[in-house]
A = this chain, B = another copy of it.
Amino acid sequence: MHPHITGKTRIYGLIGDPLKSARSPMLLNRLFAEAQTDAVCIPLEVGTQALAEFVKGARALRNLDGLLVTMPHKQTMLEVVDILHPSARQVGAINVVRCDKDGRWEGAVFDGLGCVLGMQRQGVSVLGKSVLLVGAGGSGRAIAFAVAAAGAYSLTISDLDPHRAADLAQSAGKEGSCNVHAGPPDPEGHDIVINATPLGMNPDDPMPVEAERLTPAMVVVDIITRSEPTALLLAAQARGCKTLDGEPMHLGQALLALDFLGFKNIERRYSTGL
């Protein structure tokens, strides 16, 4: 049922390809409904080749107020928007576009800040902590900057490609006073372990970290969003660790995206729960 869509309803699109398992429309529409906002988020499936044409058409719409951006468009959208939010410039990707009334599009990325906010909302702060981040791809890159900026004491970045880990460590190390370096996927000596690789999506995947070296005081975060816990989270739970799946990050991203899109009421409402 979507009986509340009228001619006045403002439109938010989620662009990506594929979108079959996308969950943002459901989450945003729930937040819109809870805030009694006359807006709707719909999936807009656009392939790589068609993005430029799509963008021209989208700019012709008067009631399109924003876009959520997912794969494969997160980098390409950097060239499309008129203004880059500092987060997008830093991370080199976009996951939300605000379509301003003057016709200008501003792009931002809240993957990393959403991960940190989601952890905070679950009582896990990175402030002063030693963090192991596995995966220096798109999500890992965003999380590295956000963790460093949120006051972590140290951040170890691990990736199958050691150059990619070292490059990201160097860039993220410029943020604040966090001690950032590349290293192996060994939890020992860390307070928080974050998996930002796709390992765990499929049953046959190897573990992203050396799970046998997890200890009960560690918090283990796996940003993969699926209904069943990943093998990493099951192993961490068996060893007594507090665990977080991808849900808190997903909600954190959505809250920050909505705040950026101008829904200050939604953000305030949820931030009281911090």
Contacts and interface: CB of A to CB of B under 8 A. Distances in A.
Contacts of A58: 57
A40 B42 CA distance: 8
A47 interface: yes
B53 A25 contact: no
B6 A25 contact: yes
A123 interface: no
Most buried by B among A5, A14, A44: A5
Contacts of A26: 3, 5-6
Nearest to A5: B25
A44 B21 contact: no
Copies of the chain in the assembly: 2
Contacts of A25: 5-7, 9
A61 interface: yes
Contacts of A7: 14, 18-23, 25, 43
Interface string A20-50: 1111011001101100000011111111001
Contacts of A44: 11, 61, 63-64
A12 to B, nearest CB: 10
Contacts of A64: 44
Contact of A42 (B9, B18, B62): B9
Given A11-B43, A42-B40, A53-B57, A62 B3 contact: no
Nearest to A57: B57
A46 B22 contact: no
A175 interface: no
A56 interface: yes
A4 interface: yes
B1 A42 contact: no
A59 interface: yes
A107 to B, nearest CB: 18
Given A1-B1, A11-B43, A56-B53, A62 B30 contact: no
Contacts of A42: 5, 9, 11, 40, 42
25 contacts: A1-B1, A1-B2, A2-B2, A2-B5, A2-B32, A3-B30, A5-B25, A5-B26, A5-B40, A7-B14, A7-B22, A8-B19, A8-B20, A8-B43, A9-B25, A9-B42, A11-B44, A19-B63, A42-B42, A44-B61, A45-B61, A51-B60, A54-B57, A55-B57, A57-B58
